């Protein structure tokens, strides 16, 4: 159901900061809550001054912006267990199909143009269920032709951290912005009644797995 109340970017930014703190992200990153909030605070002016045409409609898989903290600040192995399905409390997990050291090799692709920052914003986010059933590498080409950018692993985790209602049965998503130099494409889907970070082959389509993307990334620079 589309949200009918007006969208306030500043209030939504504040909610996402509180959400990270309440999910105990400071414990994963070292600084206390005040220091953590101070790290993120400069990004607030960006969201309040940047126009985006993406509606606030998490249930339909679209949100105007996403606050992302990089793995240099909060490691994936610690942020994924801080995710849950909407209305559930079972923690998310990293699938065992990632062999030891594999996550470190899944890094942002050159075309992703990831900001060299500890925290940044992703604007115009779409879950990408239109690509459910499509061959992942074909979906990635279509998204590139549209001038959009593929979400990374950290961005996908941030998406379900801030909007757990966006991860639902048959509308899960791949994260083509992070690759390891082989044919694997990371993805987040539902397994054992919890979010799971796994991967699928770039040539294998899945009816329940789309391709998440965004319009751009922004920092305070």
pTM for the full model? 0.93
pLDDT in tens, 128-164: 999 999 999 999 999 999 999 999 999 999 999 999 9
pLDDT in tens, 181-211: 999 999 999 999 999 999 999 999 999 999 9
Bridge partners for 66 per DSSP:
122
Domain ranges of the chain: 9-218
**Taking the CB of residue 18, how many other CB atoms lie within 10 A of it?**
12
């Amino acid at each position: 159901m589309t949200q009918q109340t007006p969208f306030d970017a500043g209030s939504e930014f504040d909610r996402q900061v509180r959400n990270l703190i309440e999910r105990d992200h400071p414990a994963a990153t070292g600084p206390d809550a005040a220091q953590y909030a101070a790290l993120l605070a400069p990004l607030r002016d960006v969201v309040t001054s940047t126009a985006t045409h993406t509606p606030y409609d998490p249930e339909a898989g679209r949100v105007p912006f996403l606050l992302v903290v990089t793995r240099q600040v909060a490691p994936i192995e610690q942020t994924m267990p801080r995710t849950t399905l909407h209305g559930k409390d079972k923690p998310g997990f990293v699938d065992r199909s990632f062999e030891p050291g594999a996550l470190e090799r899944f890094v942002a692709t050159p075309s992703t143009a990831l900001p060299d920052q500890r925290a940044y914003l992703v604007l115009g986010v779409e879950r990408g269920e239109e690509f459910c059933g499509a061959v992942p590498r074909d979906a990635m080409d279509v998204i590139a032709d549209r001038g959009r950018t593929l979400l990374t692993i950290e961005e996908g985790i941030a998406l379900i951290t801030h909007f757990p209602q966006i991860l639902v049965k048959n509308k899960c998503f791949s994260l083509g912005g992070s690759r390891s130099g082989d044919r694997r494409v990371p993805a987040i889907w539902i397994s054992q009644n919890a979010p799971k970070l796994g991967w699928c082959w770039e040539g294998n389509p899945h009816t329940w797995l789309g391709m998440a993307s965004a319009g751009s990334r922004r920092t305070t620079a």
